[in-house]
């Protein structure tokens, strides 16, 4: 083996090594690109779902709902949870309706679990009638 053959082999091996390294880098870049595309697709799907949910909520908000309960003075009620309400701390309390007129959206309720004799004004969505 002469010197030139040795140089040629060493050149070939370095070229192969650089080709392998560049192939590895290209594969890694392709994998990263594929991952980014997958993440973007997932984000797009999530955004579409959120937009549909928002549209449904807007449709629900636009529709007028009337709540009517067959309640009268002296009925016993139980306080229930309503989203984003300050009165949720009374959830589960038992009370008695002290004042309610037909087609009102609130009732004055005396809570039996509170020792003081304060009546609290609750929206009618915030309680259910118990027998």
28-76 tens-digit pLDDT: 888 888 888 888 788 888 888 888 777 776 665 555 444 556 888 888 9
Residue 113 structure tokens: 């679990």
Name the percent of the chain lying above pLDDT 90: 5
Whole-model pTM? 0.47
Query: Residue 11 has what pLDDT?
Result: 62
The whole-number pLDDT of residue 109 equals 92
* Mean pLDDT score across all residues of the chain: 78
In this structure, the number of other CB atoms found within 10 A of the CB of residue 27 comes to 10
Nearest to 125 by CA among 100, 107, 109, 102: 107
How far apart CA 81 and CA 127 sit, in angstroms, is: 8
Q: Which DSSP symbol is given to 115? A: S
Query: Looking at residue 62, what is its pLDDT?
Result: 53
Mean pLDDT of 16-38: 77
């Amino acid at each position: 083996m002469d010197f030139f053959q040795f140089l040629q082999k060493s050149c070939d091996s370095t070229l192969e090594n650089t080709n392998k390294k560049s192939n590895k880098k290209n594969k890694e870049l392709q994998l990263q690109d594929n991952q980014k595309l997958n993440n973007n697709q997932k984000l797009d799907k999530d955004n579409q779902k959120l937009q549909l949910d928002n549209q449904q909520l807007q449709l629900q908000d636009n529709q007028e709902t009337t709540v009517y309960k067959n309640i009268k003075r002296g009925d016993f009620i139980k306080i229930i949870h309503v989203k984003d309400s300050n009165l949720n701390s009374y959830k589960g309390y038992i009370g008695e309706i002290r004042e309610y007129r037909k087609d009102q959206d609130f009732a004055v309720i005396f809570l039996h679990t509170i020792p003081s004799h304060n009546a609290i004004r609750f929206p009618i969505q915030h309680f259910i009638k118990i027998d």
